[in-house]
Amino acid sequence: MKKILFAASECVPFIKTGGLADVAGSLPKCFDKEYFDVRVILPKYSCMKDEFKDKLVYNNHFYMDLAGKSLYVGILEMEYDGITFYFIDNEYYFTGEKPYGDILWDIEKYIYFSKALLSALPVIDFRPDVIHCHDWQTGLVPVYLKDSFQQNQFYWGIKSVMTIHNLKFQGTWDIKTIQAMSGLPDYYFVPDKLEFNKDANLLKGGLVYADAITTVSNTYAEEIKTPFYGENLDGLMRARQNSLRGIVNGIDYTDYNPETDKLITKNFNAKNFRKEKIKNKTALQKELGLEQNPKTMMIGIVSRLTDQKGFDLIAYVMDELCQDGIQLVVLGTGDEKYENMFRHYDWKYNDKVSANIYYSEPMSHKIYAACDAFLMPSLFEPCGLSQLMSLRYGTVPIVRETGGLKDTVEPYNEYEGTGTGFSFTNYNAQEMLKTVRYAEQVYYDKKREWNKIVDRAMAKDFSWSSSAAQYQELYDWLA
């Protein structure tokens, strides 16, 4: 039996800001339980829902030395859906309304988390064969593991995997501060280790010291070796290309199932969507105060409102788009400029645009179920889960061909009768508009063709099964 520990800063159902939480919460369930004992460790945030906080069970506590200070490390645990989750408890670090905020404070928090989770292993008596780290917040785990922890035999031979969910976020600050916070010796703060343009970079530490690196799609694995997508780490990505591979994300096919989803108005499946899916649209039109017309093409967006997601393209052609016979439903929070942009168009085209500037799991499901199409014109997209959720609910994705979007959405080909969505190549607003209008044309003028696209979209399998098998292979190869 191989033991695997997932270390992550967010994880469904406990705490979520984006797709990382979906992956950390849904992937561990999908491994072969006969051969793999997979557990998850994350911080115990005070902003977690009470329904979960109340169920955490005290496991242990101890004091850990970090950069000359002695710090409390509490360990709580909970079993959920057959998986053991451990929570690192320290109220000094993990209070606040959201998991992330000020970057310097976040850096300090996750340095503590990285060392604390390693220190906790003998205490909980779990010696993983592989620690699977996710994103910059756990970047120091492979570094600490190869450093002072080697003085203790318990840690000998533990392997680490670093998965890049988003290369843009790296946890970078000046060397002096990070050295003082982490207690790591000078040895690490040089250009072939943690140093990065004269600063220190936590993710880079993980990428240098992990035994294997993965990212969440094949295309992104290639893209990050180039300067445009490489976020100044493309050189390192090229240097480590033999240890780097792409494994595309899946989604939880139980939570995201139009046939059983309790959060949507009317359940439907691949056979009856022609009659039933539309009831979700009319219900949502009513709920959001849009013109109530089952025939109108409804386009959805569920997203963090950041540059990454291509909102500059949308902003650029929003007036033109709103001249068309469509409705646009947006759910998201993030940069104020995009929040206000959507609020403005909601006001200007009140019966056509609905801007929902908040975070809501139930509303996201309603949108995936109700819309005809889903717009995701990302500037870059390591994988993207929203388009997978859309495919599952027969909502046709319109995407830019980048990262995981390129790997998971097959463009409609009217001559061959293939494809599950619509896509365009260049980061160009007119190109996007043209593609949306092509989709409109198929939707309105060739309904049977449109429904066949939906058929093919719903027939795709983006559950975790094949990707979980690839992670298993990787673990087997490592340890």
How many residues interact with ligand ADP (rule CB under 6 A)? 18
In the complex with ligand ADP, which residue's Cβ is closer, 21 or 131? 21
- Is residue 163 within the footprint of ligand ADP (CB under 6 A)? no
Pick from ligand ADP, ligand GLC, none: which does 302 bind, CB < 5 to 8 A by kind? ligand ADP
* Cβ pair 16, 22 in contact under 8 A: yes
Asked if 334 touches ligand GLC (CB under 6 A), the answer is no
Stretch that binds ligand ADP, among 12-20, 35-43, 222-230, 271-279 (CB under 6 A): 12-20
Of 74 and 332, the one with the shorter C-beta distance to ligand ADP is 332
Question: Judged by CB under 6 A, which of 142, 384, 397, 421 binds ligand GLC?
Answer: 384
Strands lying side by side in the sheet with 244-246: 57-66, 69-80, 83-89, 36-43, 2-7, 130-134, 159-164, 212-215, 244-246
DSSP codes, 96-154: SSSS---HHHHHHHHHHHHHHHHHHHHHHT---SEEEEESGGGTHHHHHHHTGGGGSGG
Residue closest to 30 by CA, chosen among 474, 389, 468, 476: 468
- Candidates 4, 14, 22, 379; binder of ligand ADP (CB under 6 A) is 22
The helix or strand, by DSSP H or E, that contains position 348, with its residue range, turns out to be helix 336-348
- Partner whose footprint covers residue 300, from ligand ADP, ligand GLC, none (CB < 5 to 8 Å by kind): none
Report the residue number, 115 or 132, with the smaller CB distance to ligand ADP.
Answer: 132
Name which of 25 and 258 has its Cβ closer to ligand GLC: 25
Instruction: Kindly write out the interface string for residues 307-346 of this chain, putting x where it contacts ligand ADP by CB under 6 A and - elsewhere.
Output: ------------------------xxx-------------
CB of 304 to ligand GLC, least distance (A): 8
286/289 Cα distance (integer angstroms): 5
- Does residue 13 belong to the site contacting ligand GLC (CB under 6 A)? no
Least separation in angstroms between residue 45's CB and ligand GLC is 18
> Smaller CB distance to ligand ADP: residue 89 or 339?
339
Find which of ligand GLC, ligand ADP, none residue 216 binds, CB within 5 to 8 Å per kind.
ligand GLC
Nearest residue by C-beta to ligand ADP?
Answer: 19
Contact present, 397 and 237 (Cβ < 8 Å): no
DSSP, collapsed to helix, strand or coil, labels residue 356 as strand
Distances (CA, A) of 381 to 384, 387, 409: 6, 11, 13
List the x/- string, 358-377, binding to ligand ADP by CB under 6 A.
-xxx--x-------------
- Contact (CB, 8 A) for 132 and 163: yes
Residue 261, contacted partner among ligand ADP, ligand GLC, none, CB below 5-8 A by kind = none
Q: For 220-229, which contacts have Cβ atoms below 8 Å and span 24 or more sequence positions?
A: 220/164, 220/246, 220/380, 220/381, 220/382, 220/383, 220/403, 220/404, 221/245, 221/246, 222/246, 223/380, 223/402, 223/403, 224/164, 224/167, 229/167, 229/380, 229/403
User: Which of these ranges, 15-23, 59-67, 267-275, 450-458, lies near ligand GLC under the rule CB under 6 A?
Assistant: 15-23
* Rounded Cα distance, 190 and 198, in Å: 9
Residue of 19, 250, 310, 394 interacting with ligand ADP (CB under 6 A): 19
Residue 267 interacts with which of ligand GLC, ligand ADP, none, CB < 5 to 8 Å by class: none
